[in-house]
């Protein structure tokens, strides 16, 4: 097995992220990560202090990825804040489908995770900026929270299989995004 010096923190976090999606939070153990990166579990503690620290690192990496995905989507959408909000909602949904377990953990209500404030702030910048451009600084946080809460709720229900009445879920998501963009835009600063 490789020595701990040949196992990087990046490799450990990447292994943790893979395990999280494959085995859930309960499967994200120090032993499982150590096996995945090819070291003994005690050696892993030279890089990561505890399972809680490992979960925090995995969650932080998820937040950073989500923020980068959001920033790319907002940039591609252009200057119109309505287009940016639409793109951000689609990016959030795509991210949730790609990493559903990590998504649920990051957005879990009452989660006892200690999210890094800087990563949390950075992941929120694209939606805060779009909201500020649309409704002004005074209501930007309110608008961003409303938009994020709706998108999170829809996507969480979708991932849980809660839409059981039939119909086209993609169309419903698009409809919801358009309604929400219109509603937020109707409160735009003069």
Q: What band does 107 get if pLDDT is binned at 50, 70 and 90?
A: confident
Residue range 75-101: average pLDDT? 97
**Cα–Cα distance between 92 and 103 in angstroms, integer?**
9
Q: What DSSP state is assigned to residue 160?
A: T
* pLDDT of the residue at 116: 80
CATH topology of domain 1-48: Arc Repressor Mutant, subunit A (1.10.10)
User: Which H helix or E strand runs over 109?
Assistant: none
Angle (nearest 5°) at CA 14 between 10 and 16: 115
pTM: 0.89
The label of the residue with tokens 């998820």 reads: 62
**Cα–Cα distance between 20 and 74 in angstroms, integer?**
28
* pLDDT of the residue at 1: 47
Instruction: Tally the C-alpha atoms within 13 A of residue 129's C-alpha that lie toward its C-beta.
Output: 19
Residue range 39-56: average pLDDT? 90
* pLDDT of the residue at 174: 97
User: Token digits for 17?
Assistant: 């992220």
The label of the residue with tokens 């005074």 reads: 138
Look at residue 88 and tell me whether its pLDDT is greater than 60: yes
Least confident of 3-17, 51-65, 85-99, 135-149: 3-17
Where b means 16+ CB within 10 Å and e means fewer, 69-82 reads bbbebbeebeeebb
Secondary-structure class of domain 65-185 per CATH: mainly alpha
* pLDDT of the residue at 109: 63
| Domain locations along the chain | 1-48, 65-185
Residue range 75-95: average pLDDT? 97
User: Token digits for 157?
Assistant: 């229900």
pLDDT digits (tens, 9 = 90+) for 25-34: 899 999 999 9
* Backbone angles phi and psi of 141, in degrees to 5: -65, -40
* pLDDT of the residue at 78: 95
């Amino acid at each position: 097995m490789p020595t701990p010096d040949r196992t990087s923190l990046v490799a450990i976090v990447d292994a943790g992220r893979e395990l999280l999606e494959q085995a859930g939070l309960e499967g994200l153990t120090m032993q499982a990560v150590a096996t995945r990166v090819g070291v003994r579990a005690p050696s892993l503690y030279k890089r990561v202090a505890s399972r809680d620290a490992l979960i925090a690192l995995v969650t932080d990496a998820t937040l950073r990825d989500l923020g980068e995905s959001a920033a790319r989507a907002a940039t591609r959408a252009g200057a119109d804040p309505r287009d940016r909000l639409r793109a951000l909602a689609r990016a959030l949904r795509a991210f949730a489908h790609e990493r559903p377990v990590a998504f649920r953990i990051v957005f879990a209500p009452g989660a006892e995770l200690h999210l890094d404030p800087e990563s949390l702030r950075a992941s929120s910048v694209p939606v805060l900026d779009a909201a500020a451009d649309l409704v002004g600084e005074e209501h930007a946080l309110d608008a961003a929270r409303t938009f994020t809460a709706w998108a999170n709720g829809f996507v969480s229900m979708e991932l849980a299989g809660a839409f059981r009445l039939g119909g086209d879920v993609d169309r419903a998501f698009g409809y919801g995004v358009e309604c929400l963009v219109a509603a937020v835009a109707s409160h735009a600063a003069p």
